[in-house]
Structure 1
Amino acid sequence: MTASAVAIRRWGARARAYPTGVAAFSLLVALLALVPLFFVAWFSASVGFDEARRLIFRPRVGELLRNTVTLTVATTLLCAVVGTGAAWLVERTSLPGRRLWHVLLAAPLAVPAFVNSFGWVSLTASVQGYAGAVLVVTLSYFPLVYLPVAATLHGLDPALEESAQALGHGPVRTFARVVVPQLRPAMLGGMLLVGLHLLAEFGALQMLRFPTFTTGIYEQYQATFGGPAATMLASVLVLLCLLLLLAELWMRGRHRYARLGSGAARPAARVQLGRYTPLALGSVAGLTALALGVPLGSLLYWLAIGSSTTFPLGELATAALTSVGLGAAGAVVTTLLAIPVAWLAVRHRSRFSTVVERSTYFGHALPGIVVALALVTISIRYAQPIYQTTTLLIVAYAVLFLPLSMVSVQSALVQAPPSLDDAARSLGTGRLGVLRRVTLPLVAPGLGAGAALVFLAVVTELTATLLLAPIGTTTLATQFWSNSDSIAYGAAAPYAALMVGISIPASYLLTRFSKKVTPR
C-alpha cells in the first residue's frame, strides 16, 4: 500500500471518529453565546473610527479601566488564596467539625453579592470604595474556588503523595510538586468564574459606590438608551474578557489529569494541627462570620426594626414561585447546552473545540443589560414572536450563565478516563450508548453542580430580568432592587431573606455534588 493510500485511510478513520454532529451542535451553542459580542462589534463598527477613538480614549474610561482591572486582579487572587486555604483545612487537616465547615464555607453562594453589599452598606457606609469592594466581593465569590478545589482534594489518590514521600520528598515539596499540579484545573476554573463574575457585576458595586465598566455602562444606557458611549465601554469589557480567557488557557496548559480506576479507596493522611487547632478554627469561623453573619444579621435587623418593613404575602409568594420556576428552567436548558461543548473540548481537544469552548464565556463577562439589549434587538428584527416572552428570558440566562455549567462539567470530564469510552466503543456500543451508559453516570455529579450553580445565578439575576421579563413578571431580585434602590431597607429585607432561603437548598446540594465530582 502506498504512503498516500495509508494517509488517506488514516484521515478517513479520524474523520469517522470525529463527532461531527456534536461539533455542529456545539458550534450553534457558541454562536448563541456570541450574540451579545456580535451586537457590540456591529454597533461599535457603525459608530466609525474617529467617534470610537473619541469615546474610548478619555479620562473617564481610563478610571473605569483602572478600577476594573485592579478590583478583578486583587479579588481573584484573594479568592484563590482564601478558597484553596479553606479547602486544604477542611480536606487535609484534623480540623474539628469538617462536615459542618464544608457546608458553611459553601453557603455564601446562597447570599447574592448585591444582598451581601446591602448587608454591609446598610450597617456602615465605611465599606464603600475600593477596599470595601475587594472585601465584600471576595466574601461573596471565594466559594467558587473553594468548592472545586475541595472536591479535587477529596478525590485525589493518596498513593501519589505517598510515592513522592517514599522518594524522599518532604510534605511541603510533595504538596508543591504533586498536589498543586492536580489542583490546577479546579483552581483556574474557579478563578476564571470569579473574574468573569467581577467583569459583569453590577448590583454589588453600585451599592458599594465603586465605579467599574459595568456600572459605567449601566449609567450610560440610562442616560442614552442604546447610546454609542455605553456600547464602546462594552467593547473594552469584551477585550478584558478575552485577555482573561487567554490567560486562563495559557496557565492551564495542555496537561491531562484523568486516571484509570478510582485510585486507593481510602482517605489521605490528615495533617495534625495540634496547637494550631484554635488558630485554624478561628480562621474558618471568622471567614464564615464575615461572609454569612454580617449579611444575614443585617437582614434580621431590618426585618425586626425597619420602619418600612412589610410582609405582602401575595407578592412574596408570586415573586418566589416565579424565581424558582425561572431558576429551574434556566438550569435545565443551560446544562443541556453545556454538555456537548464540554465533552467536545475535553474528549476531542483541537483548535476548533478550544475556540468553541472559549466562545461560550463571553456572555458571562458582559453586563446583563448588554446581553438583554442584544437579544431585544435580535428578537425585534428577526424573531418577533419571542419578544417579551419567557423564552427570550431563558435564552438570556443560558447566554449569561453557560460558563457556570461548563466549568463544572469539564472538571468532571477531565477526571473521567477516556479509556472507558474507548472500551465501550470496542464492545460495539454506539456514541449515544457510550454517552448514556458510561460518560453521563461518571459526570452526573458535575452536571448537578453546574445546574445548582446556574439555579443560584438565575434566582439572583437582576439587570437582564429587569429588561427582558414579560410585562407584569416580578422576581425576588427585581422586587428587592426596587425597594433597596429607594433606600427602603425594611421593605427590601423580606425579598432578600426569601431569596437566601430559596438558595440555601441549592447551595447544600452543591456541596453534596462537589464531593462526588472527583470520587474515590
Structure 2
Amino acid sequence: MTLLKAGRRRTAPRPAAGAPPWLLVVAALCASVAAIPLVYLVVRAADAGLAELVDTLLRERVLRLTLNSVGLAVAVTASCLVLGTAVAWVISRIRMPGGPTWLLVTALPLAVPSYLAAYGWMVAIPSFNGFFASWLVMTAVCLPYVALPVAAALRGASGDLEAVARTLGSGPVGAFRAATWPRVRPAATAGALLVALYTLSDFGAVSMLRFQTLTWGINSAYGASFDRNQAALLALVLVVLALTVVAGERKTRGQVTATATRTVPMHTVRRRWLPVVAVLVLASPVGGVFVPVAGLVSKLIEAETIRGIDVPRLLGAIGATLGLAVAGAFVAVILALPIAVLAARYRGRIVNAIESVGYLGHALPGIVVGLSLVFFSLAVLPTLYQTVVMLVFAYCVLFMSKAIGSARSGLAAVPEGLIDVSRSLGLSPLATWWRVIGRIAAPAIGVGALLVGIAIMKELPATLLLRPTGISTLAVELWNRTAVLEFGSAAPYAAALVLLAAVPAFVLSGIRGFAKEEE
C-alpha cells in the first residue's frame, strides 16, 4: 500500500541548486534560441542610431500605424473579453439542447487562420475592408481564446458565494460579478493576453482587409530595399507593444486558492430567450468558420475553378506544408524537452529565467521573427539565407513555447515513486527516462508536437520572408492569389489547408483521450 501511494505521488519541484549542471546548460542553450531574433533586432536598431530612431518614431505615418495597431488590439480584446465571458457563462450555466456540443462549436474558430476567415468574407462581400471589417474578423477568430478558459474556470468555481449573493437580492449579473468573476478573472485575463498578442501580430487578415497596421508597415518597409532600417525600427516598436501587453497581464494576473465547491445548478432558459442565447453562442463560429467555408465552397463549385486547378502546384504546396510542419514540430520538441524537464523537476530564479526566455517567442509576432532572421542570416550566416534550415529555425522560435507548456505538464505528472523504484532496480537515468518517464509523458509531448505542427501549417508572414525560392506552402499560395483578388484560384489551396489542418486536430483529440485514460 505504501508503494502504491508512492507511485501515485506526483513529482514535487526541487530547488534549482539540485539540478544537474549539464541540464541547466543544455536548457539555457535551447532557450537562447528564442532570444536570438530579439537580440539581433535590438542590435540592428541600435546601429541605426538614436537620431534615426527618434525621427522614425515621430513620423506621422508611423504614429498612425501604431495607433491603428493599438486601437484594433484594444477593440478586439475588449469585445472578446465581454462576449467570450458571456458565451462561457451560457455554455456553463444554461441547459440547452445539444449539451456539450455547444462547447465544441465554440472552439471551431481556432482551426481557421485569420487570413482564411478574411478571404471568406471578401468572397461574400468584395467591398469588405477597413477597421470594422478587421475588428469583426479578428473578434470572430479570437473569441474562443477567452471563452474556453473561462468556461473551464466556471466549472471549478464555487457556487456557494453566488447562491448567497442571489439570496441577498442580487440579480444573475450582479451575483456573477461579485462572487464568481474574481475566481475566473485569471483565466479571462490570460485569454485576453492571447487575443491581444494575436491581434498585434496579425498580418494576413489586416493586409487582405486593407487596414494598415504595424505589421503591414513592416512588410512594406522591408519590400523597399532602400529602407530596411525603418523595417527594423518598426519591428522593434511592435515588439515593445507585445512585451508591454505581456508585462501588463502578469501584473494584473490573479491567483485563486482552490476550495471545496458546490456545483452550480444549470438554469433552463425560457423558450422565448433561446434564440437570443443561440445567436450569442453562434456569432463567433458563424463569423469565423461558416461564412469563410461558405465562400470557399461557392468558389470551389464554380466550373472555372475546377478546370483551372494546377494539380502539380497544389500537390507541391501540400507536400511542402506537410514536410515543414513535421520538421518544425520535431525540432521544436527536441529544443523544448530540456527546458520542460528543468521546469517540471526544479524551481528557482534560474529555472524561471530559462523558462521565461523559452516562452519569449510567444510574444514575438511572426513578421518580426522573419524580418530579424533575414537580417541575422545575411549578416552572420549568409549561406543559410532563404534555406529550409532558417525557416524551420523561425518556426521553432515562434512555436517552441507550445511544446514547452505541454511537455512540462506531462513530465510534472509523472509519479515520483515510479522514478525511485526504477532507479532502485538498477536502471540508469537514460533507461529510466526511456522506459518510465518518456512513456508516461509521451501523450503530452505528442500533443505539443501536434500543436506546433498545426501552427506551422497556418503560419504566413515568417514563411513569406524566409521560404527558399521554389518552395511554397498552402498559406503562401492562398496569400499570393488573394492579394491580387484571384479568389477562384485561391479556393483549392484554402480547401486543402482546412482539410490538412483537420487531420492533426482529430489525432490531437485521440491523444488527449489516451492521456486521460492513462491518468
**Alignment TM class, shorter chain as reference:** 0.7 to 0.9
Tell me which residue corresponds to 1:89: 90
The amino acid across from 1:455 in the alignment is G
Q: Indicate conservation of the 8 Å contact 2:419/2:436, yes or no.
A: no
Distance 2:154 2:433 in 1: 27
Distance 1:256 1:382 in 2: 47
TM-superposed CA distance for 1:413, in Å, is 6.9
Tell me which residue corresponds to 2:74: 73
Range 31-40 or range 277-286, more displaced: 277-286
Tell me which residue corresponds to 1:471: 469
Distance 1:512 1:345 in 2: 26
Distance 2:142 2:242 in 1: 18
TM-score (structure 2 length as normaliser): 0.81
- Alignment pair present for 1:33 and 2:30: no
Tell me which residue corresponds to 2:299: 302
Name the CA shift for 1:406/1:188 in 2 (closer, same or farther; >3 Å): farther
Distance 1:513 1:172 in 2: 38
Tell me which residue corresponds to 1:272: 268
Tell me which residue corresponds to 1:505: 503
The amino acid across from 2:312 in the alignment is G
| Within-5 A mapping of 1:372-451 | 372-383=370-381, 386-406=384-404, 412=409, 447-451=445-449
The amino acid across from 1:470 in the alignment is P
Name the CA shift for 1:280/1:229 in 2 (closer, same or farther; >3 Å): same
- Alignment pair present for 1:292 and 2:289: yes
TM-score (structure 1 length as normaliser): 0.81
Distance 2:127 2:512 in 1: 36
The amino acid across from 1:287 in the alignment is S
Distance 1:94 1:183 in 2: 20
The amino acid across from 1:282 in the alignment is V
5+ residue gaps in structure 2?
A: 1-13
TM-superposed CA distance for 1:400, in Å, is 1.5
TM-superposed CA distance for 1:367, in Å, is 4.2
TM-superposed CA distance for 1:230, in Å, is 1.0
The amino acid across from 2:339 in the alignment is V
Name the CA shift for 1:232/1:15 in 2 (closer, same or farther; >3 Å): closer
Q: Indicate conservation of the 8 Å contact 2:450/2:504, yes or no.
A: yes
Q: Indicate conservation of the 8 Å contact 1:345/1:353, yes or no.
A: yes
Q: Indicate conservation of the 8 Å contact 1:151/1:517, yes or no.
A: no
TM-superposed CA distance for 1:274, in Å, is 4.0
The amino acid across from 1:272 in the alignment is T
Name the CA shift for 1:517/1:489 in 2 (closer, same or farther; >3 Å): same
Name the CA shift for 1:424/1:166 in 2 (closer, same or farther; >3 Å): farther
TM-superposed CA distance for 1:182, in Å, is 5.3
Range 200-209 or range 283-292, more displaced: 283-292
Tell me which residue corresponds to 1:233: 234
Name the CA shift for 1:169/1:356 in 2 (closer, same or farther; >3 Å): farther
Name the CA shift for 1:289/1:376 in 2 (closer, same or farther; >3 Å): closer
TM-superposed CA distance for 1:116, in Å, is 0.7
Q: Indicate conservation of the 8 Å contact 1:103/1:511, yes or no.
A: no
TM-superposed CA distance for 1:234, in Å, is 1.0
TM-superposed CA distance for 1:105, in Å, is 2.1
Distance 2:437 2:82 in 1: 32
Distance 1:228 1:301 in 2: 43
Q: Tell me the secondary structure at the aligned position of residue 471 of structure 2.
A: coil
5+ residue gaps in structure 1?
A: 1-12
Q: Tell me the secondary structure at the aligned position of residue 472 of structure 1.
A: coil
Range 39-48 or range 14-23, more displaced: 14-23
Q: Indicate conservation of the 8 Å contact 1:127/1:133, yes or no.
A: no
Q: Tell me the secondary structure at the aligned position of residue 217 of structure 1.
A: helix
Distance 2:84 2:270 in 1: 22
Residue by residue, what CA displacement relative to the aligned partner does 1:255-293 show, whole Å, maximum 9, x if unpaired?
A: 47789xxx99x9874333344434322322343222212
> Which of 314, 317, 320 matches 2:315?
317
Tell me which residue corresponds to 2:138: 137
Residue by residue, what CA displacement relative to the aligned partner does 1:109-128 show, whole Å, maximum 9, x if unpaired?
A: 22211111111123225541
Q: Indicate conservation of the 8 Å contact 1:397/1:458, yes or no.
A: yes
Distance 2:226 2:510 in 1: 44
What count of residue pairs does the alignment treat as equivalent? 495
Distance 1:427 1:230 in 2: 56
Tell me which residue corresponds to 1:6: none
The amino acid across from 2:268 in the alignment is Q
TM-superposed CA distance for 1:184, in Å, is 4.7
Tell me which residue corresponds to 1:217: 218
Tell me which residue corresponds to 1:4: none
The amino acid across from 2:479 in the alignment is W
Residue by residue, what CA displacement relative to the aligned partner does 1:35-59 show, whole Å, maximum 9, x if unpaired?
A: 1111211111111111211111221
Name the CA shift for 1:192/1:370 in 2 (closer, same or farther; >3 Å): same
Distance 1:440 1:81 in 2: 41
The amino acid across from 1:492 in the alignment is A
Name the CA shift for 1:213/1:366 in 2 (closer, same or farther; >3 Å): farther
The amino acid across from 1:229 in the alignment is Q
Q: Indicate conservation of the 8 Å contact 1:331/1:452, yes or no.
A: yes
Q: Indicate conservation of the 8 Å contact 1:148/1:514, yes or no.
A: no
Tell me which residue corresponds to 1:64: 65
Residue by residue, what CA displacement relative to the aligned partner does 1:450-486 show, whole Å, maximum 9, x if unpaired?
A: 4343222211222222232233212111111221122
Q: Indicate conservation of the 8 Å contact 2:158/2:263, yes or no.
A: no
Residue by residue, what CA displacement relative to the aligned partner does 1:55-78 show, whole Å, maximum 9, x if unpaired?
A: 112211211111111211221232
Tell me which residue corresponds to 1:250: 251
Distance 1:98 1:58 in 2: 54
Q: Indicate conservation of the 8 Å contact 2:80/2:143, yes or no.
A: yes
TM-superposed CA distance for 1:377, in Å, is 4.0
Name the CA shift for 1:324/1:14 in 2 (closer, same or farther; >3 Å): closer
Range 481-490 or range 76-85, more displaced: 76-85
The amino acid across from 2:266 in the alignment is R
Range 378-387 or range 468-477, more displaced: 378-387
Range 172-181 or range 487-496, more displaced: 172-181
Distance 2:45 2:314 in 1: 41
> Which of 270, 280, 303 matches 1:283?
280
Distance 2:294 2:265 in 1: 38
Tell me which residue corresponds to 2:48: 47
Distance 1:513 1:91 in 2: 25
Q: Indicate conservation of the 8 Å contact 2:116/2:494, yes or no.
A: yes
Distance 2:339 2:174 in 1: 36
Q: Indicate conservation of the 8 Å contact 2:208/2:482, yes or no.
A: no
Q: Indicate conservation of the 8 Å contact 2:336/2:404, yes or no.
A: yes
Q: Indicate conservation of the 8 Å contact 1:151/1:516, yes or no.
A: no
Tell me which residue corresponds to 2:102: 101
Distance 1:480 1:450 in 2: 26
Q: Tell me the secondary structure at the aligned position of residue 279 of structure 1.
A: helix
Distance 2:79 2:158 in 1: 27
Q: Indicate conservation of the 8 Å contact 2:201/2:366, yes or no.
A: yes
Q: Tell me the secondary structure at the aligned position of residue 124 of structure 2.
A: coil
Q: Indicate conservation of the 8 Å contact 1:127/1:208, yes or no.
A: yes
Q: Indicate conservation of the 8 Å contact 1:141/1:194, yes or no.
A: yes
Q: Indicate conservation of the 8 Å contact 1:193/1:404, yes or no.
A: no
TM-superposed CA distance for 1:395, in Å, is 1.0
